[in-house]
Structure 1
């Protein structure tokens, strides 16, 4: 089945060991679903405008780590705001390079991004976002029932995607939907990653297999359940990604260039969370 919003609520309540755990994990999933929908809407808007963009528009170029770094630099120069259209990067002369000219102003809280190969299913992205972290209920060391503050089980945490995937399948959720849980960790875990890092997972690829899954994976990086729950800027996650190697950082920056940079400040204010 493709669960309805009511069924998604039931799936969360069924597995949640406590109301405290539900509040933490379900809220995170709602936030990620909202950000994923923002990203998908931005991508779809770029796709709709693809035929009317200037030939030198950055949105038509191939995404790259350098492109993301240029957008981040522009945002930083604007003291946390968004760079002006046409000023995301510069050539040797100090003038904006042709491929760095943003033709489309920020929208939906997202700056930048590149035209995707097709439209993204915003409804599917929302469902995936609401379910992607449902396995984290099963990796709590202290789950709210023992009088201790909530705490995730360190080394076991990496298994939450697979555990969520299995839980959803057990409850009759379609494979296509269950994969949102399986394939969202980090910027995608490859079989080589699992073996090289000796992760407690069956050797396999745990990476998005379509744009909808990829959108949710990217959105997930902007909010952390680590207590206290918090929002994460694109710049901060770039530093976090670098801790797992330059290839991991490069992959994140390419995703950032493709999907654009999310301004998390309005959401952080709405949810009363800090930004790191």
Structure 2
């Protein structure tokens, strides 16, 4: 009987002995469980997929580990507990095999089995971390998108005049999100002029001129005249290079105060 077949036949016993061993450890993880049923099910699932990996079905094992990592992100236990759990489980299985009293167990396979076991556990852990990392990045991205949405608010200045102050680092992703959110806001407000203040931004996108052009064009399509204030030298060079300052219906002012004075004069002149 091979070691792997022995483990397959003794799987339930392995799980039970693991629970007895793990329950004797001074680890806060075990005390977060109301009873051993969750840990038993978790161990059984991990063990089944590890054994699947050892029998050649590594793709299924990797998929399970990846999804398992994603699921652990949303629990209060944290990924560190799970990794510690799996590390102990690998050591426990080796100890279990060495202490096995089965006369049919082929001990000559022990060394290559230990190497194979470590390889599979490492592969499992890698996919587990990848799943956890993906879930973490998704959550961070969702929070950033919500922050951008909350910060991309139009401020009423006067009749048909609104202000959009942009602050912080402008990356490609944030530029796209700002344009989308701002256009949605514009379409819900009665305005003719939108003052876009850029004095507080930090450029991290090399495509900012393209995004500005896209934003300005979209604003004009919905009947809004963009007014730009607070342009810094770096952005000014980009806008000149792209001929953005030469386009019709775009006004550029050094400061927000000068822009508002211009609009006041425009209003008086049209009265």
Verify same fold: TM over 0.5: no
Q: Which structure shows the higher strand fraction? A: 2
- TM-score band by shorter chain is under 0.3
Q: TM-score, normalising length from structure 2?
A: 0.23
Q: Which structure shows the higher helix fraction? A: 2
- Structure possessing the higher relative contact order (Cα contacts under 8 Å, 6 or more residues apart): 1
